[in-house]
Amino acid sequence: MRDVIIACDFKNKEGLMSFLSKMGDEKPYLKIGMELFYREGAPLVKELKESGYKIFLDLKLHDIPNTVYKAMRNLGELGVDITNVHAAGGVEMIRMAKKGLEEGAIGKNRPLLIAVTVLTSLNDEILKDELKINLSSKETVDAYADNALKAGLDGVVCSPYEAKAMAEKGLISVTPGIRLEGDAVGDQKRVATPTFAREQGATFIVVGRSITDAENPLEVYRKCKKDFLGA
């Protein structure tokens, strides 16, 4: 199951296709997030699936339980491989998300459903000063993960620093905030290398700009796979 997922944070389909044309015969696991999905919508996701790509649809649903249930029912029809909600929505919202996803995916394999715990752009100071959460990021991730377990989810989005604890709970971990040695950190606070993520037991790593902005993205992608999978 372990794999490298490329964060495809492109403005439009043309940008994505230009990038994919540089990847040779590789069919990498792709993360389609809000920027691209809100521009191109479900047709792009269906086209990518038909072309043989695995898709992590990263929309981070967070609303009242009934709204999330109905939205997930629609997303379940797309046949993606992973999708997600915000754990901060509470156990009932998460349960309803899973119910909707199962109903929408009838006749297909249900996508893995994971919960976003604490964004890797946040740290302890932001949690305390801005969000008034008096737990550390590690403690908050742990509490949100327990809620995901109660709701029957498959795993969580967390930083590599929490991946080992998630594995001990029986949850898969999808870990953004991955950078290669020497790369700019950008807007992330809790970052790590593919090798560190592997050592911490992460199930998936999400790598964006380190690959997509590279002069030779195929070479960097293959290095990430080697570092993470040990291949």
Residues with catalytic function: 60
- Beta strands of the chain (E only): which ranges? 3-7, 29-33, 55-61, 82-86, 112-116, 155-157, 172-175, 204-207
* Closest residue by Cα to residue 3 from 189, 138, 178: 178
**Count of helices and strands (H, E) across the chain:** 11, 8
Tell me the two tokens of residue 195: 């090798």
DSSP category for residue 178: B
Q: What is the Cα gyration radius of the chain?
A: 17
List beta partners, residue 206.
5
Contact 59, 89 (CB under 8 A): no
DSSP category for residue 72: H
Which amino acid does the sequence have at 28? P
CA distance 163 to 165: 5
